[in-house]
């Protein structure tokens, strides 16, 4: 049973990985946490996608807005912005 549509915004990581993935993305993770999160994300499609999104989001927020309090504003990204972030991430992964 599907509770919601499969949109690009509905990707959720494994429950136990979410905080580690967030920390890895924003650079606050310890080396061990970062290593673990990256290792997991490599083999887990949902977490890999989640990490890519959060990482891209953090980078964009830091690049364009110096105020760290705007982390909540991911909803304001347009489809085009997501697409360009995703293609950039895809290049990084190669």
- Exposure string over 67-94, b if 16+ CB within 10 A, otherwise e: eeeeeeeeeebeeeebeebeeebeeeee
Decide: 12 and 50 in contact? Cβ < 8 Å.
yes
Q: Which is nearer to Zn ion, 11 or 77 (CB)?
A: 11
Decide: 33 and 20 in contact? Cβ < 8 Å.
yes
Q: Which is nearer to Zn ion, 33 or 44 (CB)?
A: 44
Q: Which is nearer to Zn ion, 36 or 82 (CB)?
A: 36
Of 3-11, 13-21, 22-30, 75-83, which part binds Zn ion (CB under 5 A)? 13-21
Q: Quick one: angle between helices 18-26 and 31-43, nearest 10?
A: 110
CA–CA dist 59, 33 (Å, integer): 19
* Site size for Zn ion (CB under 5 A): 3
- Identify the residue among 25, 37, 47, 54 touching Zn ion (CB under 5 A): 47
Q: Which is nearer to Zn ion, 37 or 61 (CB)?
A: 37
Q: Which residue is nearest to Zn ion (CB)?
A: 44
The residues of the shown chain that bind Zn ion, judged by CB under 5 A, are 14, 44, 47
């Amino acid at each position: 049973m599907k509770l919601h549509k499969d949109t690009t915004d509905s990707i959720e990581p494994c429950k136990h990985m979410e905080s580690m993935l967030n920390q890895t993305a924003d650079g606050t993770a310890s080396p061990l946490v970062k290593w673990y999160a990256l290792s997991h994300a490599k083999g887990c499609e949902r977490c890999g996608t989640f990490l890519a999104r959060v990482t891209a989001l953090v980078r964009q927020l830091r690049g364009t807005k110096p105020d760290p309090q705007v982390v909540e504003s991911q909803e304001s990204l347009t489809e085009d912005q997501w697409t360009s972030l995703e293609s950039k991430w895809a290049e990084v992964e190669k």
